[in-house]
Structure 1
């Protein structure tokens, strides 16, 4: 129940609940990956069960697909949808221009493809995810397994000329083995501390042979919904230049919270 949730989980929940209101009957919806996105999927599942809402969801990972099916959401592929009305996802960091770092959950490639194949992207996050400049959270870069050490060396060489504070790179691990993405790739985490020019860095990284995609989402996010532990929600629209604040009610629901 919500009374048992930590303040951070309450913040994620109210952000997800508010963002779920952007979804309408008949839409094709990109469903993000991660702890905050999981709250969204649960909120949307409740709308399906309790309100009879019908829409089709395109998950950005196998675990999101499993959760969506579990709560009653119709799941289709991006190829079947072709184009999406909206994608709602979390973020590891966002700045004042709504540039993002994503990929902490390892799904950055599918997340970026789905987000850019949408009319609009909405990010849901707790207030701690907002930063003055990106980079405190390690930047994920997805690389193919073949020659990943060469790709790592080229990335480290490229970082020398970039406006960043740190240049350490590490291979993401899953226990004693390299982490493997849904596409069968590895992830290098770049510990940069601060990224002075995210746009330039994103372009440079994607020129490195072996790099599939990086976790910098530049000019992709349209709105961010920020949740707070006391139930307050702030919605910023980068295109309209508006900021709206409201308070969401906590709703006790055995279905929604049963696995939390």
Structure 2
């Protein structure tokens, strides 16, 4: 049983004719995009806004028409994955490095739907390291300011080189396991000059699609 496929395809049911759809990044929302591509071929009329270069390439491949922010007034639904989802439906995102664009699109959407397999569901955020995107200029100084918040930043690398986001920035992956107030941390991080955005998505998700113990698809709504 492909859990990611079950969860990802369910999200496509929320998309109706004429919608502008935020297309997330990751291995679960991949199946949402594939399904939407099939529905477009069958006559569904939508426009997509991708959260990453990788998603843009996939959307084009499956035939989803894409638009820019200049061409639209709003996003009807954004669908994305998560690295962790807690009991309040707060998230850690950014393992794939697209957190800035993902947050911009989720914030612009009337409805934000998260697709998450059961292994992503947690009681408390912090088992997964929190990505923090920073501009390269002064990154060493920014790292020191992040450390002062009581979290340990680790410079993300890829194949021996600094990892670069689609925006040309660096990422620090931070241990936040001892943090009790994620909303407060989100605000403090974004006040540090040099920090572009962080992967805490607090009070943003409207619905989480996951699976129960019997592998049935379940919809978890905001309390």
Deviation readout 1:15-64 (Å, 9 max, x if unpaired): 11111000001000000001111111001111112x21110000000010
The question of whether the paired residues in 1 share the 8 Å contact of 2:157 and 2:163 is answered with: yes
| Counterpart in the other structure of 2:157 | 173
Q: Is the 8 A contact 1:78 1:114 kept in 2?
A: no
**Paired residue secondary structure (1:34):** coil
TM-score, scaled to structure 1: 0.83
- CA gap 1:230/1:46 in 2 versus in 1, 3 angstroms: farther
Gaps of 5+ in 1: 1-6, 160-166, 242-260
- Match among 86, 105, 108 for residue 114 of structure 1: 105
The structure having more radius of gyration, on CA atoms, is: 1
Compute the RMSD of aligned alpha carbons: 1.3
Matched, 1:127 2:118: yes
Aligned residues of 1:222 and 1:237 also touching (Cα < 8 A) = yes
TM-score, scaled to structure 2: 0.96
**Which residue matches 1:11?**
3
Partner residue, 1:42: 34
Once the 2 structures are TM-superposed, how far is the Cα of residue 192 of structure 1 from its aligned partner? 2.2
Q: Give ranges in structure 2 of 5+ residues lacking alignment.
A: none
Poorly superposed stretches of 4+, deviation over 6 Å: none
> Which residue in 1 is equivalent to 2:16?
24
Aligned match of 1:256: none
Contact 2:10/2:32, CA 8 A, preserved across alignment: no
The question of 1:74 aligning with 2:45 is answered no
Q: In the comparison of the two structures, how many residue pairs are matched?
A: 223
What is residue 190 of structure 1 aligned with on the other side? 174
Which residue in the other structure is 1:155 paired with?
A: 146
